Structure 1
């Protein structure tokens, strides 16, 4: 009781500058639970951005039916977090600059979307419900497979676009913050559309289309007049033949962006394994629904979209002084110098950190894999993730802000 009184009576600036800036993430969570005053101070501190609200970047957010966790690469540890806004019918569909993009799927035929900050329980609800077409309401399918945003939710007048890939993998939903309704982009008639992944850079929406093996681009500014039209930007890059399989719908093809340099990357994750069940999309495209045992990851290939030339092309690249973080719900590329929170991460350029889940009915939790692939020597290092094995297998996504927060850390 006496310690609580001391914390309560401390001046706010002392608590922020002298204490919060020196605490790791797990102690922030503990301090918030101490008393109502500390909870308010820590939440305000995060909200006003006087310090990085995710001080141990990067983090993997894991959610099962019963538990929510943050796994920090900086500390190699799991932190259980209290997220009252994430109920049983809610799914994390993506993240942007430390905000989770969450879908409430409790109402049949609709999805209610909101932004959630897992550190201070701030919630920003999209006022318009997303009406789902019948094809995206099939049993066994997610209503919304994934969502990306052009920026965090803001109120400064700048545009913020939110784009979702629906559960049938051929419809796209577009929403501009403060607009009255969503815009649904339907596939062309008689076309066999199958979208794998999507990403936004500025107002350009890039979509990886597995049916045409190409990247499509939509200009989101055109959505003011109705659904924007797709343009075929470029075919997918070819990779060297290996004894591996590219599994489209399980996240083996990722679109990632460097937010600072506004560059688009395409990352292949090559793996092999014995498929238990699979879904035939087209003659040349089959997607597994479960495995006998989790596949073995063999290698990653990284390509950067080069737009400086007269003709747009792919460059097969190494990341050099950058690192990539890959998952089915969020992938990103950033300079290692941004990772000032951890010496091991800062010296580890040219690495890909992955967090994926392979469906494996016999031992579901064995399909959760978090690790690092080194592009220099093709070595793989797996990280242990000790979580409760109750309920369904968590689906991981990287959560973090792809900006340099070093000027917020005062010593």
Structure 2
């Protein structure tokens, strides 16, 4: 009797869709490569996919700025993949990551959205429409952008700046309020060198949101429950209702987050807050503080790092320090903040924070004498950092960035 034969390409699409709901990103790609019908199911937007663990986009090495490929760390497999990206990634700088899209400033300091997994690109309004950017200068032989004329405040004066230098100064962080392929009412909001600015789909220019504060006073931004939260370096928060933008004034939602409200990880004398992050987690607004400790008698020389987490209490309008994230795991980097359930990703440590920051020798208790750059994860229960990956010691250019795989 002939064995029962199955034509796998003829499996019902509904069955294929149910399988896709349990697959990580790499397996979805493999799934779609089997045959035409499986590829059709894998790219069908009507099927919901499982939550995806973010990948860490690693910086390029010095001298490799012109390449069109970047390396990504996949925590699920603890493996590094090299992905070829659109040519716009060359000599670019990533200033944000939301919903699987990167906010990129290309080699000419033009802003765009790029999906590194699908290769899709959405161009944003011209840089010369950004607040305090007055004009653009082009090279006569090629017509390419050479420099910009900008207005520098305090003191007010105009001067010329190269595209490469403006690429570093134009935006320190940007975010997208919704997935552009799902919600056409999204916005791109950026902390600029002259304050806050935003743009919407179809807009031909950037709009100033707040020019009362310079970029150096902003620490982080977060879109949460229809409000744009802006965290200042001193710890207080300003919230904007972005539904009916533009607005003329902001509304404070909390008193300053003063140092004495927070439990320092060690005696406060030689500890200081190196970085603050805003993140939404299970409906709570959290502020994560990354602490560094200076060596005694050695200014700007550090021998340890720690972390604390505060939750914003809506009733008292104050920050309350928390000792546990419960089943959550956070992924933080200078340009994004992500909260996921540890139950969905058993390969990650619950009640932990994965930092897209480099920790040098002496900062990780489990490996105090390393001679390379570590990527650290902080566990709130154990109150210490451990290493989850490392990179060879070398000069690093753009910052690390977490990005959630999204190829649809």
Counterpart in the other structure of 1:327: 333
CA spacing shift, 1:47–1:102, aligned 2, 3 Å: farther
Tell me the C-alpha RMSD between the 2 structures: 4.1
Report the equivalent of 2:352.
351
Q: Which of 55, 60, 68 matches 1:59?
A: 55
Query: Is 1:182 the equivalent of 2:188?
Result: no
1:271 to 2:292 alignment:
yes
CA distance in 1, matches of 2:342, 2:39: 28
1:235 to 239, 256, 275: 256
Give 1:249-260 correspondences, 5 Å limit: 252-258=275-281
Looking at structure 1, the residues matched to 313 and 405 of structure 2 have their Cα atoms a distance apart, in angstroms, of 24
TM-aligned CA deviation for residue 208 of structure 1: 1.4
How big is the shift at 1:229? 3.1
Q: How far apart, CA to CA, are the structure 1 residues paired with 2:59 and 2:288?
A: 25
Q: Indicate yes or no: 2:175 matched with 1:171.
A: no
The correspondence of residues 35-74 of structure 1 with structure 2, limited to 5 A, is: 45-46=42-43, 48=45, 50=47, 52=49, 55=52, 57-64=53-60, 65=65, 66=67, 67-74=69-76
- Equivalent residues of 1:272, 1:298 under 8 A apart: yes
- CA deviations 1:53-104 (Å, max 9, x no partner) are 984x132122322441221221111111111244323222111122222223
TM-score w.r.t. the length of structure 2 is: 0.70
Query: Within 2, Cα distance between the matches of 1:15 and 1:393?
Result: 45
Paired with 1:10 and 1:385, the residues of 2 have a C-alpha distance of: 45
Partner of 2:116: 118
Residue pairs, 1:130-209, within 5 angstroms: 130-133=129-132, 134=150, 135=152, 139=165, 141-154=168-181, 156=183, 159-166=185-192, 168=193, 170-188=194-212, 194-209=217-232
1:119–1:193 Cα change, 3 Å: closer
Q: 1:176 Cα shift?
A: 2.7
| Further displaced range: 191-200 or 320-329 | 191-200
What is the deviation of 1:185? 3.2
Q: Using the TM superposition, name which of 11-20 and 392-401 deviates more.
A: 11-20
Q: Distance in 2 between matches of 1:102 and 1:187?
A: 23
Shift of 1:233: 3.0
Give the conservation status (yes or no) of the 8 Å contact 1:237–1:314.
Answer: no
Alignment check: 8 A CA contact 1:246 1:268 kept = no
Aligned to 2:310: 303
Cα distance in 1 between the residues matched to 2:385 and 2:202: 44
Alpha-carbon contact 1:171-1:186 (below 8 Å) kept: yes
Question: 2:291 and 2:88 mapped to 1: Cα distance?
Answer: 33
Give the number of the structure whose alpha-carbon radius of gyration is greater: 2
CA offsets 1:232-260 (integer angstroms, 9 cap, x no match): 63212423343554355xxx1111123x5
Q: Match of 2:399, SS?
A: coil
Question: How many residues in Structure 1 have an aligned counterpart in Structure 2?
Answer: 350
**Structure 1 residues 369-400: Cα deviation after superposition (integer angstroms, max 9, x where no partner):** 3221110011321122457x887445212222
The answer on whether the counterparts of 1:54 and 1:98 sit within 8 Å (CA) in structure 2 is no
CA distance in 1, matches of 2:245, 2:59: 33
Q: Secondary structure at the match of 2:84?
A: coil
**What is residue 237 of structure 2 aligned with on the other side?**
215
Q: How much does 1:297 deviate?
A: 4.4
Using the alignment, how far apart are the partners of 2:303 and 2:405 within structure 1? 30
Q: Which runs of 5+ in 1 are unaligned?
A: 1-6, 279-290, 403-411
What is the CA-CA distance between 1:10 and the residue it aligns to?
8.1
Query: Aligned to 2:255, what secondary structure does the other structure show?
Result: strand
- Residue 244 of structure 1 contacts residue 270 of structure 1 at CA under 8 Å; is this kept in 2? no
Q: Structure 1 160/380 Cα, relative in aligned 2: closer, same or farther at 3 Å?
A: same
Question: What is the CA-CA distance between 1:46 and the residue it aligns to?
Answer: 4.3
Q: Secondary structure at the match of 1:75?
A: coil
CA contact (8 A) 1:355 1:368 kept: no
Asked if structure 2 preserves the Cα contact closer than 8 Å seen for 1:60 and 1:397, the reply is: yes
Distance 1:89 1:375, change over 3 A: same
Mapped to 2, the partners of 1:297 and 1:150 lie a distance apart of: 35
Return closer, same or farther for 1:201/1:14 CA change in 2, 3 Å cut-off: closer
Counterpart Cα distance in 2 of 1:172 and 1:182: 10
Find the counterpart in structure 2 of residue 313 from structure 1. 318
